A and B are shown apart, each in its own frame.
Chain A
Amino acid sequence: MIGIRIHGRGGQGAVTASRLLADASFRDGKFSQAIPMYGTERRGAPLVAYVRIDDVRVRERELVHEPDVVIVLDPLLSKEQSVASGLKKGGLLILNSKLPPEKVEIAGDIKIATVDATKIALETLKRPITNTAILGAFSKSVGYPTMESIEKSIRKQFPGRVGEMNIAAIHRSYEEVTPVVQATHTEPVVEESDIAVGGYGVLKDVSSWRVFTPIIDLDKCTGCRSCWLFCPETAIQWKDDRPEIEYHKCKGCGICVEECPVKCIAFERVVV
């Protein structure tokens, strides 16, 4: 039996990824189980999902505490969570990151493969939903499920055009994932927050939730207060008749960008 833990954020499709993996494995003749962890998540909040794949029916219901593979859907999560926690010796970490695995600052007797799933998702799906974009990388690095089965599972989950876009994403990640290498970093992981933490009230700082950051061009701003009015997190303060973003409160939802009547708020991708 292998156990998998998937780290993602609300909206990135970690739960869907877990189901697709379980479904595709079942198509390959395995038994599987996909366990989501639901709480008070919302878009952007860190969350986890688990998968078990076995040759016999999976009976136990506990969470996967010592995974063989960890998938990280969001590049910033590995900065604030100990994503390698509990990972078995010699286990595999598949990280959504621009960096080559040698440069990933996660230590331990583990192997690492990276793929820039955010870029793939933006180019194929036009939005940073990285769940399918990382499955191709999983299939390549782990050796299963087969791409044919993942395709079938995706077509069932997303019929029509959306499915085809997602299939393009898995093929890109299958091609673009780096080879699996032994972790070279030597500093131990700093436990910054609990793996299954959720909720803005606890975290106080949600800056790392952002895939895009709003930046206001104050020269163009007319002071209409639309952004201030619509911001769901009260992250925009009003100072000297001009808006000011308190970035630790901003999840990067983009509502201010959408609402600004003079389009003076840019939305720039956070590069990690």
Chain B
Amino acid sequence: MVGNKATATAVKLARVQVASAFPVTPQTTITEYLSDMVANGELDAEFVNVEGELSSHVVVQAASRVGARTFVCTSGPGQLYMHHPMHQTSDNRLPVVMATVHRGNKGMMPDHTDLMSQLWTGWMQFYVEHNQEALDTCLMSYKIAEDERVRLPIAFGYDGYVLSYTAEPVEIPDQKDVDDWLPPYKAMPSILPDEVLPENLGGRWDRSDPQKRWQEHHEAIVNAKDVIVEVNESYGKKFGRSYGNGLTEEYRTEGAEAVLVAMGSLTGTARAAIDRLRDDGLNVGLVKLRCFLPFPKEDFQEIGKKVGAIGMIDRNVCLGHGGAAYTQIRNAIYDLEERPSVLEFIAGMGGKEVRVDDIYKIGKKTLKAAKSGGVSTSTEWV
């Protein structure tokens, strides 16, 4: 099953009631699968055809506000076009779930800049490694987003082409089990229109302190970590699959002197590289950064205490600033008394192929930094 089919299947299993999307490569086939499912009666939902991403987003925003479980998906430039209403969806605390099939902003091929460009919209963000994880993450996203302690929208991203069109085995959970684990969405009274919109669209907020809604929103995202961990655990119990602690996942980190950190589909290739490094007697482990927002700061502080160096492989770059995850990891470990080196590698931009060999070399470099100490501040473009 290809990544887009895995996602569409998850949408069906979640019994989404309203979905809307505008086709954009490489997300297009999700819209086709969903349209088929609705047309042949497999999925009892409204699939709303629209003329662009701005509209598709407003459709799901409105539907979510009146109590429907909703799904929207996009890629690259479509994601950028959708930017504006994303702020309002999160501000209104609507549990919309979005799949972003990564496509870079400099061409058709994948990197994470499309979703990374939405960092400030107040959405939670997951980056998934393989097609099975796309399906599982989609289901988990509804559980997390709709939790009354969270009530925030979630976007999960997976690399276009690399996953969207690559076929691999995916286990599909039973509908009965999913229904059991993920009960129908019940809109909270406060997000029904009367409550949300008494004062001309901005109603329920205390206008004497305009900053308060920012603070509440920020704290809600940071506090969602507990729920993410909880949902990951309960998913594991129900379906037999979970992903680390839900935020990060460690791979062969026992006794590691250095670790690499990867996101999205690069993680799979990195696993193969780690196996090779370990075979050669090099103590390098891997951390998969699965949940980018809220950022699992505490996880990296724990890892930072154990290793001499961390090599972050970013498939994104905030131009003039650096890799987004690299910046966050450095920020997280700053509070430690003894800090490991953090190295920055940028790879796979514009869909550039990343080979096992490339990551093997990154591993060797990071291990060398762990042994020699010293902090490299220069970015390496792989």
Asked if B167 is an interface residue, CB under 8 A from chain A, the answer is: yes
Q: Which residue of B lies closest to A37 (CB)?
A: B161
Write out, one digit per residue, whether chain A residues 74-118 have a CB within 8 A of any chain B CB (1) or not (0): 000000000000000000000000000000000000000000000
> Which of B54-62, B239-247, B268-276, B366-374 is near enough to bind chain A?
B268-276
- Assess A35 versus B166: contact at CB under 8 Å? Given A60-B269, A61-B265: yes
- Contact indicator B272/A31 (Cβ below 8 Å): no
Are B166's CB and A36's CB within 8 A? Answer: yes
In the complex, what distance in Å separates the CA atom of A268 from the CA atom of B356?
A: 47
- Assess whether A31 is in contact with B269, with CB atoms less than 8 Å apart: no
Q: B355 — which chain A residues lie within 8 A by C-beta?
A: 62, 65
- Taking CB atoms, residues of chain B closer than 8 Å to A58 are 168
SS class, residues of chain B in contact with chain A: loop
Q: Does the CB pair B268–A26 fall under 8 Å?
A: no
Quick check: A34 and B166 within 8 Å, CB to CB?
yes
User: Closest CB-CB distance, B135 to chain A, in whole Å?
Assistant: 15
Interface size class of A (residues with CB under 8 A): 20 to 34
| Interface contact B162-A61, CB-CB below 8 Å | yes
Residues on the A chain within 8 Å of B354, using CB: 61-62
Q: Are A63 and B165 in contact (CB under 8 A)?
A: no
A15 to B356 alpha-carbon distance, docked (Å): 24
- Of residues 131 through 169 on chain B, the ones whose CB sits less than 8 Å from some CB of chain A are 161-162, 165-169
Count B-side interface residues using an 8 Å CB cutoff. 18
- Enumerate chain B residues within 8 angstroms of A59, measured Cβ to Cβ: 268-269, 271-272
| B26 / chain A contacts, CB cutoff of 8 Å | 38
B353 in the interface, Cβ–Cβ < 8 Å? yes
Residue of B nearest to A21 (CB): B167
The residue in chain A whose Cβ has the minimal distance to the Cβ of B266 is A61
Q: State whether B272 touches A38 (Cβ < 8 A).
A: no
B172, chain A: closest CB distance, angstroms: 13
Instruction: Give, as a whole number of angstroms, the nearest-CB distance from A30 to chain B.
Output: 9
Q: A131 in the interface, Cβ–Cβ < 8 Å?
A: no
Interface-centre pick from A38, A59, A65 (highest chain B CB count, 10 A): A59
Whose C-beta in chain B lies nearest to the C-beta of A40?
B108
B358's nearest neighbour on chain A, judged by CB, is: A62
Cβ–Cβ < 8 Å partners of A34 in chain B: 166-168
Q: Which residue of B lies closest to A57 (CB)?
A: B169
Over the window 345-357 of chain B, the binary record of Cβ atoms lying under 8 Å from chain A Cβ atoms (1 yes, 0 no) is: 0000000011110
Q: A38-B161, A61-B266, A62-B353 are in contact. Are A33 and B271 (CB under 8 A)?
A: no
A131–B271 Cα distance when bound, in Å, is: 33
Tell whether, in the assembled complex, residue B353 and residue A63 are in contact, meaning their CB atoms are under 8 Å apart: yes
Judge whether B356 and A60 touch: CB under 8 Å: yes
Q: Which residue of B lies closest to A58 (CB)?
A: B168
* A interface residue numbers (CB < 8 A to B): 15, 18-19, 22-23, 26, 31-36, 38, 57-63, 65
Enumerate 18 A-B pairs (CB-CB under 8 Å) in ascending A order. A22-B167, A26-B169, A31-B169, A33-B167, A38-B165, A57-B169, A60-B268, A60-B269, A60-B271, A60-B272, A61-B166, A61-B265, A61-B266, A62-B269, A62-B354, A62-B355, A63-B353, A65-B355
Per CB-CB distance, the 3 closest pairs between chain A and chain B, nearest first, are: A60-B272, A34-B167, A59-B268
CB within 8 Å of A: which residues of B? 26, 161-162, 165-169, 265-266, 268-269, 271-272, 353-356
